[in-house]
Amino acid sequence: MLPDAGADASDASTEGPSACPAGMKLVDTMYCPKPRLKCLKDEYDKPNHITICYRFAEGQTCLVAPRRQRFCIDEYEYPNKAGAHPPVMVSWFDGEAACEAEGKRLCRESEWVSACEGPEKLPFPYGKSRDPQQCNFDNSYVKPHLDLVYSSNPSVQDRELLNLDQSVPSGEKPGCVSGFGVHDLTGNVDEWVTADEDTHKPSRWAGLKGGAWGHVRNACRPMTTSHPPEFTYYFISFRCCGEASGEAEAEQDGKGTIWKAPPLAKHPPPGGKISKGWTTTERGPNRP
């Protein structure tokens, strides 16, 4: 019989906040590398060439043995402050450098998914059915002018990015929170992660999770692997993860051995350049 990856609904850790720094949430859970999810209602989205699931069946069957993962994740998108505006126009390298400056790192794909699914293994952080009332997505499309998005003139770029911006401040959507207390994982901005199951072409070791404010994937499991790690865009941002303390003690709790992620190769930024991206305190004309 295949294991039921949703059977550990009570596995949220009770170790308290001391395992993670302030502003980070502890995730201690069983993660399924290869789940079987049944979609009950879907739609093929022609503009994006993707199938979007609106409602999933109960439960998650795991096709391989689940593994225990234990780590810390930022409660909000970078800079991890309620009410802040996540920076966009950042590459994977920019996100990794910003996280490293805080003693953290970009989240691995499996960590991001684990935090999103919560202890109940939900396909969306808030439940089994897609709901744009809970998280910031399904906004009307605003066509970008790419020559303005990538303009070398800051004032020109700023006007275009402000016009395109449909994000909301971190934490503004109170229902957009997972069972581990992590906010805004689906929708709002796309988030860079580091792939830990496979390498991809052309994204190599990088991936994008959560989807942004449009009508896209906006669920816990899908990941975009069509952009290289140096890619920047007007709705791409990130959040940080880190190691949880007390691992030796945690392994004595009977929940199993904690999975050791394979070490990551160092990837220096092209040309050594790091950007802080674009952010704003204004609400543009198309912002919700």
Any domain includes 74: yes
Please list, residue by residue across 181-217, b when 16 or more beta carbons sit within 10 angstroms of its beta carbon and e when fewer do. ebbbbbbbbbbbbbbbeeebeebebbbbbbbbbbbbb
Any domain includes 124: yes
Give the tokens for residue 224. Answer: 């975009």
Any domain includes 286: no
Please list, residue by residue across 234-257, b when 16 or more beta carbons sit within 10 angstroms of its beta carbon and e when fewer do. bbbbbbbbbebeeeeebeeeebee
Under 8 Å between Cβ of 91 and 161: no
Residues 6 or more apart from 91 whose CB is under 8 A from it? 192, 229, 230, 231, 232, 269, 275
Any domain includes 135: yes
- Given a cut of 90, is residue 225 above it in pLDDT? yes
Q: What is the pLDDT of residue 143?
A: 97
Q: What is the CATH number of the domain that holds 239?
A: 3.90.1580
The whole-model pTM stands at 0.93
Tally the domains of the chain: 1
Any domain includes 95: yes
Q: What is the pLDDT of residue 11?
A: 46
Phi, psi at 83, each rounded to 5°: 90, -5
142-191 confidence digits (pLDDT tens): 999 999 999 999 999 999 999 999 999 999 999 999 999 999 999 999 99
How much is the average pLDDT of 221-236?
96
Higher pLDDT: 3 or 288? It is: 288
104-144 confidence digits (pLDDT tens): 999 999 999 999 999 999 999 999 999 999 999 999 999 99
Residues 6 or more apart from 168 whose CB is under 8 A from it? 136, 188, 287, 288
Any domain includes 270: no
18-44 confidence digits (pLDDT tens): 899 999 999 999 999 999 999 999 999
Most confidently modeled range among 45-49, 82-86, 265-269: 82-86
Any domain includes 236: yes
Q: What is the pLDDT of residue 8?
A: 52
For residue 168, the enclosing domain spans 17-261
- Banded model confidence at residue 6, pLDDT cuts 50, 70, 90: low
Lowest model confidence (mean pLDDT) among 13-22, 154-163, 262-271: 13-22
Any domain includes 207: yes
